[in-house]
Homo-oligomer: A and B are copies of this chain.
Amino acid sequence: MRLSRGFVPTLKETPTEAQIASHRLMLRAGLVRQTSAGIYAWLPAGWRVLQNITRIVREEQDAAGAQEILMPTIQSADLWRLSGRYDAYGPEMLRIRDRHDREMLYGPTNEEMITDIFRQSVKSYRELPQNLYHIQWKFRDEVRPRFGVMRGREFLMKDAYSFAADYDGAVIEYRKMMLAYMRTFQRLGLKAIPMRADTGPIGGNLSHEFIILAPTGESQVYYDAAFERIDPASGEFSFDSESDLARFYERLTTPYAATDEEHDPAVWEGVAEKREGRGIEVGHIFYFGTKYSEPMGLTLAGPDGRPLVPHMGSYGIGVSRLVGAIIEASHDEAGIIWPDSVAPWKAALLNLKPGDSACDAICMEIYARHGGDLLYDDREDRAGVKFADADLMGHPWQIVVGPRGATNGRVELKRRASGERVELTLADALARIA
């Protein structure tokens, strides 16, 4: 995209309403604009990041054998009465009456709806196990929305729902999601640690939340250095092998890990290699047995024809929250430092002297070849402005084309994360980025 023609409204001033780094940087870098309290519009750069994260989440869900669907945002209150949650859910649920005065709601989660869809469609235990997921906007009417997209009201979530014949089958689905989550966060450039958690309003017997490490995170975390040696994408763990999944689960759940709320200094004492840091919750998984399937009448024909009530689990990732979380984990004084996998553009192309024929020619050659991956800063602005905006926006690479180098066919390549700069021929620079 050519920046002179693009809708990338960066801000020089720090917006006063933003209390945390990611919120400030998302506004300043032109990723989002607030449209109401806790509700945001995603501008082109922010939308590209959100799409990149969505794609990685989707690929890992698919790899784990989950199937993508899309459930609507608006649900009937009647469904939630079947589970008893319509009254149990507090004022965070956005309740709506339609023109016929029917009670509806903007879904904060989908256990009831997926159970109802499954009940209409599946008749036999032979069709188990299944895991269905969607990536859809949710609404939680927070009293005080804050921290930008980290605690907004309308937010994008990936939620998956598994159905299995019994406890043992449900545990396999749970472990698959655990592996998928660890692979997902690793691809997003994050270090994630699963922690045993309360089940809260979802209910159930087994639950883990996934905390990613970020220096400005919301809670203190204590963990065993053993986590640093787990590579979920090593090929050592396959979704198709029950023993791999069991081994992975053990590796993930045996070493010590706790947030400050759950921290146990006596046990911590015995951990050989201690690590501490700050963390942000970005995922939460639940096994809850027949909590929804039973009251909602989801009964299949079991082996021997006896009725079988499936055991369920649900698995959430805060997709829009992750944009903020990644920035919290990866930024400096000058701005965002995007991991390559989620950056809106792979590189910024900085033309330091638009109108100079050598600069323009080199830039056009690069842009013609890699236009889709580049943000071409062709604005008639001072070099200092361009450098500052590129650092702020956090492109993994900057290709700097100035009049001196351009006449010799040379450009400067800067890696945002390390600050390393090298002067290269055009061909070498292109090869380096690709």
Partner-B contacts on A (CB < 8 A): 1, 5-7, 9, 30, 33, 35-36, 39-44, 47, 50, 65, 67-76, 79, 91-92, 94, 96, 98-99, 102, 104, 106, 113, 116-117, 120-122, 130, 132, 137, 139, 141, 143, 153-154
Contacts and interface: CB of A to CB of B under 8 A. Distances in A.
Contacts of A9: 120-122
- Majority DSSP secondary structure for residues of A touching B: mixed
A70 B91 contact: no
Nearest to A1: B67
Contact of A39 (B5, B30, B74): B74
Contacts of A99: 91-92, 94, 141, 143
Nearest to A139: B74
A69 B43 contact: yes
A128 to B, nearest CB: 10
Q: Name the residue among A33, A98, A106, A117 with the largest chain B CB count within 10 angstroms.
A: A98
A23 B67 CA distance: 23
Q: How many copies make up the complex?
A: 2
7 contacts: A7-B69, A33-B117, A35-B113, A36-B102, A44-B132, A47-B69, A74-B154
Given A1-B67, A43-B117, A91-B99, 19 more contacts: A5-B65, A7-B121, A7-B130, A7-B132, A9-B121, A33-B120, A33-B121, A35-B71, A35-B116, A35-B117, A36-B72, A39-B74, A47-B69, A47-B70, A74-B153, A94-B96, A96-B106, A99-B141, A99-B143
A106 B36 CA distance: 13
B73 A137 contact: yes
A106 B99 CA distance: 13
A88 B121 CA distance: 42
A69 B98 contact: no
A76 B153 CA distance: 13
Contacts of A143: 99
A69 B96 contact: no
B67 A42 contact: no
Given A7-B130, A94-B96, A120-B33, A71 B41 contact: yes
A75 B117 CA distance: 29
B72 A154 contact: yes
A53 B43 CA distance: 22
Contact of A104 (B36, B120, B130): B36
A141 B98 contact: yes
A410 to B, nearest CB: 31
Contact of A7 (B39, B67, B75, B92): B67
A196 to B, nearest CB: 31
A106 B104 CA distance: 13
Given A35-B113, A69-B41, A98 B94 contact: yes
A45 B143 CA distance: 39
A174 to B, nearest CB: 18
A122 B30 CA distance: 12
A339 to B, nearest CB: 21
A36 B69 contact: no
Nearest to A44: B67
A47 B35 contact: no
Contacts of A65: 5
A141 B71 CA distance: 18
Given A9-B121, A99-B91, A73 B154 contact: yes
Contacts of A69: 7, 41-44, 47
A73 B7 CA distance: 21
Contact of A75 (B36, B132, B137): B36
A139 to B, nearest CB: 7
Contacts of A72: 35-36, 39-41, 137, 154
Contacts of A73: 73, 137, 154
A41 B40 CA distance: 25
Instruction: Identify the interface centre among A5, A75, A102: most chain B CB within 10 Å of its CB.
Output: A5
A50 B70 contact: yes
Contacts of A33: 117, 120-121
Nearest to A90: B99
